[in-house]
Structure 1
Amino acid sequence: MRLLSISSGKVLPLLGNHHPDYKTVASAIHKKSVSNLQNPSPVEITALGVRGDEQADLNVHGGIEKAIYMYPAEHYGFWNELLTRETKKPTTLMHGAIGENFTIEGLLETEVFVGDKLLIGDLEFVVVKLREPCFKFNAAMRYKGASKAMLQSGFSGWYLRVIKTGVLAAGAQITVAPGARDISIAQQNQKLLNNRNQKDLWE
């Protein structure tokens, strides 16, 4: 298990016909890698996440409880295939494209539980909850079914709270220290899928 990429982004206008009321909305969902295996630059991680990263809507992203969004690289093949098929355009997403700060390998939603502690390099994090997609994700992917696909596939990724701050670089090893293990991210996603009105994904 290791950290493949650290990404950050700035708040910019997000354009698209993916919401009935908005043609443009502020978002920092477009993240770019600032540390990766080819260029493992050290990046400062604060209690609020990656130094220099921004969030447009602090009600749903960012803050202490959602400081870092972590996403498994294993899911990128799913998105590339889906988007290529649905948009009729060849798609090869770069790490950070799902809006995540940490792109990782070797750890999936079925194996991660709320309350688990993740030790990455010399830093420590705790798993808080899954990522709930919204219309901004549809706009970022240029496909209005993207949020629904994330929920139905269970490929949501998850948010982390920062327990120990410091400097981190791509390539760092990840160790899981299990918590109470009451509910996994995959189980949380299934619960959301069962309870959520699908219409919410378009609003």
Structure 2
Amino acid sequence: MKIVSTNIGKRREVDWKDKKIDTGIFKFSVDKPIFLDTEDVKGDEISDRENHGGILQAIYGYSLKHYDFFKPLHPNLDWQLGMFGENLTIDNLEETKIHQGDTFKVGEAILEATVQRNPCYKLGIRFNDMKIVKQFWNTTMCGVYFKVIQTGFVKAGDEFIQIKSCPENPTIADLYVAKRTEKGV
């Protein structure tokens, strides 16, 4: 696995059901290293700290391969890396193979896989189509949240080198399916 793109976003105010809301889901590729800190990426907006950011959800990684699944479902979108709100677009991130607790050295940082990303209406806002939320739930292509064990800079081209494996723990996909079942989606 390696980083294809590093992505950050600024606070954006959008209209949602006749209300103004702030969101940081509009992330775009940057051509410089980004600093992975203990609770977020330096310079990246997290508007909803209740559901994003923090120790267990500091960094969000999403697979470039998953884009190929969603592109035909949304052919009129201006597809750019960062579309799913991820900080790191990774060439081949596979949720069915990454276990909670698996740890990776990438760039100057050390990251531990923690939990799945559950979609919300802000993903629909980003896609300008609420259908994406249900489409996202109906897969195991949820992406991975990482805890930052060691802070540091990462950049496109940096490889994920696994330094700890936790096969006794559930996969990120297992956690996602359990959450989907719990929510009745």
TM-score range, shorter chain: over 0.9
Structure 1 segments, 4+ long, off by >3 Å, are 21-24
Contact 1:115 1:181 in 2 (8 A): no
RMSD: 1.6
Contact 1:15 1:139 in 2 (8 A): no
Instruction: Determine helix, strand or coil for the equivalent of 2:123.
Output: helix
Which of 30, 34, 48 aligns to 2:30? It is 34
What code does the residue aligned with 1:7 have?
Answer: N
Tell me the TM-score normalised to structure 1 length.
0.85
Of Structure 1 and Structure 2, the greater helix share is in 1
Contact 1:8 1:31 in 2 (8 A): yes
What code does the residue aligned with 1:78 have?
Answer: F
Q: Distance in 2 between matches of 1:98 and 1:132?
A: 11
Write the mapping of 1:66-105 to structure 2, written as runs, cut at 5 A.
66-84=57-75, 90-105=76-91
In structure 2, the residue matched to 1:116 is 102
In structure 1, the residue matched to 2:116 is 130
Q: Distance in 2 between matches of 1:195 and 1:22?
A: 30
Post-superposition shift, 1:109? 0.7
Q: Distance in 1 between matches of 2:39 and 2:179?
A: 26
Tell me the TM-score normalised to structure 2 length.
0.92
Post-superposition shift, 1:22? 4.8
Structure 1 segments unaligned to the other structure (5+ residues): 36-40, 85-89, 199-203
Q: Distance in 1 between matches of 2:18 and 2:167?
A: 42
Of stretches 146-155 and 124-133 in structure 1, the one that deviates more from structure 2 is 146-155
What code does the residue aligned with 2:4 have?
Answer: L
Which of 135, 138, 143 aligns to 1:152? It is 138
Write the mapping of 1:49-64 to structure 2, written as runs, cut at 5 A.
49-64=40-55
Deviation string 1:25-53 (CA, Å, 9 cap, x unpaired) is: 21000001113xxxxx2222221232101
**How many matched pairs?**
184
Instruction: Determine helix, strand or coil for the equivalent of 1:79.
Output: helix
Which of 165, 171, 195 aligns to 2:157? It is 171
Q: Distance in 2 between matches of 1:136 and 1:179?
A: 32
Contact 1:74 1:105 in 2 (8 A): yes
